[in-house]
Structure 1
Amino acid sequence: MRAGKSVTERPLLFLDMDGPLIPFGSSSGHLQTAAVDSSTSPGQGNPLLKRLDPGLGARLMALGCHLVWATTWMEEANETVSPRIGLPRLPVVEWPDFRADEGPRGLHWKTRHLVEWADGRPFLWVDDEISAMDRLWVDASHPGPSLLHRVDPTKGLMNADFSTLTGWLCAAAPR
C-alpha cells in the first residue's frame, strides 16, 4: 500500500461506456454496432443511446463508490450519458498516448493507466474487454484490493453484475 492511501477510502469504480452501459445486443442475439459519422462526437446521432437504462445511475450511485468515467467517450460521457441515466458530472480518465505493443501480449491498453490512476486505492473496473492477462497484471502491479469485472457487451450491466460488485464491495471495502 502506498503512503497516504487507505483501504478505508471509498473504492473507485472505473466505468466503460460501450458494452457495459450501452449494450450492443439485438433482440436476435447478434452483436450490433452503430454506424456513427466519425466527424461528430460519440453522443451526437448515436442510435444506441436509446439503449441506456435510465435507472443505471441510481444503482451505480447506491454502490457507494467514487465513480469515474474510463471510456474513450471522455468528457462526452458527462455531456451525453450522465444526464440520461441520472449521474452527476464524474471525473474522467484522460488517456495518454499509448503504444499497442507496450506491456505483455493480451494486456488491455487501459489497464496500466487505470492502475496508475487508482494510485493504490481499492478499485473496481467495469468493462466488456477485460481479459485474464489484465487480471494477472493488476494482481501483480496494484497494492490494493481490486475487481476487474467483465460485462457481456450484448446485455450490458445486469442484476447479476450488480450482485457481483456489491459482494466484492462488502468483502473488500466494508463501509
Structure 2
Amino acid sequence: MDRPLLFLDVDGPLNPWAAKPERRPEGYTTIRVALHPGRALRVWLHPGHGPALLALGYDLCWASTWMDAANRWIGPVIGLPELPYVDFGAGLFALRPDGVHWKTEAIVAYARGRPFAWVDDEQTPADQAYVTAHHAAPALLHQVDPRIGLRREDFAALTKFATSVTT
C-alpha cells in the first residue's frame, strides 16, 4: 500500500504566526522573507520539525499559500527536501458559500483517493464534511494552534493515523 500523503500548511503549523510578536517560541529561529516587494514577513521556524516530519511515514506535500516558495524559504530552514505542492492557482482565498475552506477541494482532488492527513490551523467541521462526502479513503484533518505550532501531541496523532492506514 502507498504511504499516505501529509499536506502541510506553513503559517500556523510550522510558523506559529499568532504567538506574541515579541516572544519567539523556544527552539525556533527567525527568518525574514520578502515574498512581496517592500514587505518582509517575520517567520518563526523550528529546525527539528523537518526531521520529525520525514520520520512520520508520509509522502509530504505543501498545502499552503506559499506553494513552491515553501521549497525556497521554509524547507531548507527546517531540513526538508524539495516537496511537491498543491497549486491553488486562482482559487487562493476564494470564499465558498458553503463555508468550506478554499484549500479543501484542491487538496481532495490532489489526493486522488489516497489516504491523507492535512495539518492546518483553519479547518472547520464544514471541511471535514466535504472530505467525508468527496473522498472515499481515510483522511485526518488535524488542526494546529497557530500560537504554538506543531507539538509532540500533533506528531503523535499523525503517527497514529499513518500507522492505522498502512497496517
1:149 maps to 2:146: no
- The structure whose residues are more often strand, as a share, is 2
Q: Map of 1:110-129 to 2, 5 A cutoff?
A: 110-129=103-122
Corresponding residue pairs, total: 157
The CA deviation at 1:93 is: 0.9
Which residue, out of 71, 82, 88, partners 2:75?
82
Match of 1:100 in 2: 94
Q: What fraction of aligned residue pairs are identical, expressed as a percent?
A: 46
Partner residue, 2:162: 169
Q: 2:66 aligns with which of 62, 65, 73?
A: 73
Contact 2:115 2:139 in 1 (8 A): yes
Change (3 A) 1:28 1:77: closer
1:51-107 residue CA offsets vs partner (Å, 9 max, x unmatched):
2000100000000111001111111100011110000000011113238354x5220
Match 1:160 to one of 144, 150, 153: 153
> CA RMSD of the aligned region, Å?
2.3
- Consecutive unaligned residues in structure 2, runs of 5 or more: 24-31
Say if 2:127 is the partner of 1:134. Answer: yes
Q: Which amino acid aligns with 2:139?
A: S
Normalised to the residue count of structure 2, the TM-score between the two structures is 0.85
* Contiguous gaps of at least 5 residues in structure 1: 1-7, 30-34
Equivalent-residue separation in structure 1 for 2:69 and 2:35 (angstroms): 14
Aligned to 2:60, what secondary structure does the other structure show? strand
Q: For 1:118 and 1:111, how far apart are their aligned partners in 2?
A: 11
**Which one of the candidate residues 45, 48, 64 is aligned to 2:40?**
45
In structure 1, what residue type is equivalent to 2:41?
A: N
Residues 1:26 and 2:23 are matched in the alignment? no
- Distance in structure 1 (CA, Å) of the matches to 2:47 and 2:132: 34
Equivalent residue runs for 1:47-62 within 5 Å:
47-48=42-43, 51-62=44-55
